[in-house]
């Protein structure tokens, strides 16, 4: 399952869209995207205390919200701004910089190389290695980074007395926009939970069981299959759901269900991850000798005030958002969707009924 990403949620811990980890064996490019008026990346105010090897990082966030007052039929687009600060300690292991962080009861550290040993105020390259404080060792195993690793890129930190500059380049040293949306790397759409849920939905429909709450979710196209007893690929899922897969690649699948052949085709699938949400686009068809069902779906975070209106209520993903201690922050939406899910669901039911 693709993990949703909240940029800088664990400040200065690498995440899938923001602080991408890199291979510690790659060469360090010291003259790429140096700080200055043309700097591309993120800048965070810090208070640096070199005497005790610590820093406090300050962050300023904004989030678009559509706040709804149903009693008065009022829809208000609000840009919510928030500030936070995180205290981080650091240490040097020779010419390697370690940024320490807590994970439960244990202490770990991000590992950075390429700067001046013993001098925090220089440019450092993030690696995928992890420092384990309890054993005082650096572990560079394949899956030991603090969070998901973004491949094909390097991330650099440049610390000054009052600012942390964070930038990213591709493998050739070309500067990348750290704020640009990330394209979801999962592309085995016919091996996804969407198809798993589609098989289950077809089983329900064939048995005449109510299917209103079991429609396959379009965003499931970007998530790998699962089972109650552990990992289960789409072939395993098919066996459990009375489905025989005749052929498939990542976008197309032929299968037999209850002695009827079906063709599933993903003509378009795209998911972009932002700092606080995602955009999903899915177009697909399912057909048999009885006809064809087409699904068109798009969801996105609310980008502008135009979508926040009573006329668009049917598109808004309305919910009650809670804060600390379950206090209500607001009722409304951060996201919206457009699609023909209901029509597709009914079409599949008609396709399956015999």
Percent of all residues in the chain with a pLDDT value above 70, rounded to a whole number: 84
Determine contact, residues 5/18, Cβ cutoff 8 Å.
yes
CB 334 within 8 Å of CB 63: yes
Q: What is the pLDDT of residue 5?
A: 27
The answer to whether residues 296 and 285 touch, using CB atoms and an 8 Å cutoff, is no
Closest CA relative to residue 250, chosen from 186, 293, 297, 197? 186
pLDDT mean over 133-148? 68
pLDDT exceeds 90 at position 150 = no
What is the residue extent of each domain of the chain?
42-70+81-178, 189-352
In whole angstroms, how large is the CA radius of gyration of the chain? 24
Label residue 34 by pLDDT band (50, 70, 90).
low
pLDDT digits (tens, 9 = 90+) for 152-202: 688 999 999 999 999 988 888 888 887 788 899 899 999 999 999 999 999
State how far the Cα of 135 lies from the Cα of 174, in Å rounded to an integer.
37
Nearest to 88 by CA among 123, 49, 44: 49
**Does residue 98 contact residue 131 with C-beta atoms inside 8 Å?**
yes
What digits encode the pLDDT tens for the residues 96-111?
999 999 888 889 999 9
Average pLDDT rounded to a whole number, residues 317-330: 91
pLDDT digits (tens, 9 = 90+) for 59-95: 888 899 999 999 999 999 999 988 899 999 999 999 9
* β-bridge pairing 291-301 and 277-288: antiparallel
Report pTM.
0.71
Averaged pLDDT of the chain: 84
Q: Is the pLDDT of residue 213 over 70?
A: no
Nearest to 164 by CA among 90, 231, 251: 90
Q: What is the C-alpha to C-alpha distance for residues 300 and 336, in angstroms, rounded to an integer?
A: 6
pLDDT at 87: 94
């Amino acid at each position: 399952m693709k993990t949703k990403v909240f940029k800088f949620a664990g400040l200065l811990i690498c995440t899938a869209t923001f602080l991408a980890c890199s291979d510690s064996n790659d060469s360090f490019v010291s003259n790429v995207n140096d700080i200055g008026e043309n700097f591309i990346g993120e800048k965070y105010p810090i208070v640096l205390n070199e005497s005790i090897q610590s820093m406090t990082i300050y962050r300023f966030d904004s989030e678009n919200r559509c706040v709804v007052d149903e009693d008065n039929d009022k829809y208000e687009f609000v840009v919510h701004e928030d500030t936070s600060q995180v205290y981080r300690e650091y240490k040097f292991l020779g010419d390697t910089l370690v940024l320490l962080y807590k994970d439960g009861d244990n202490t770990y550290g991000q590992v950075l190389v390429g700067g001046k040993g013993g001098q925090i105020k220089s440019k450092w390259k993030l690696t995928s290695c992890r420092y384990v404080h309890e054993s005082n060792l650096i572990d560079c195993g394949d899956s030991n980074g603090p969070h998901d690793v973004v491949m094909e890129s390097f991330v650099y930190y440049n610390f000054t007395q009052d600012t942390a500059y964070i930038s990213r380049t591709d493998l050739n040293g070309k500067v990348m926009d750290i704020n640009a949306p990330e394209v979801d790397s999962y592309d085995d759409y016919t091996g996804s939970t969407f198809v798993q849920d589609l098989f289950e939905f077809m089983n329900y429909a064939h048995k005449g069981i109510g299917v209103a709450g079991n429609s396959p979710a379009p965003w499931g196209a970007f998530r790998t299959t699962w089972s109650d007893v552990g990992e289960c690929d789409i072939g395993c899922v098919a066996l459990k759901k009375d489905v025989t897969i005749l052929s498939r690649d990542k976008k197309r699948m032929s299968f037999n269900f209850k002695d009827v052949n079906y063709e599933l085709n993903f003509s378009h699938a795209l998911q972009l991850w932002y700092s606080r949400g995602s955009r999903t686009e899915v177009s697909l068809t399912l057909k048999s000798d009885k006809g064809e069902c087409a699904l068109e779906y798009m969801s996105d975070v609310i980008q502008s005030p135009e979508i926040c209106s009573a006329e668009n209520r049917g598109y808004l993903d309305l919910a009650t958002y809670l804060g600390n201690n379950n206090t209500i922050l607001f009722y409304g939406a951060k996201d919206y969707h457009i699609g023909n899910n209901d029509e597709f669901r009914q079409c599949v039911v008609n396709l399956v009924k015999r």
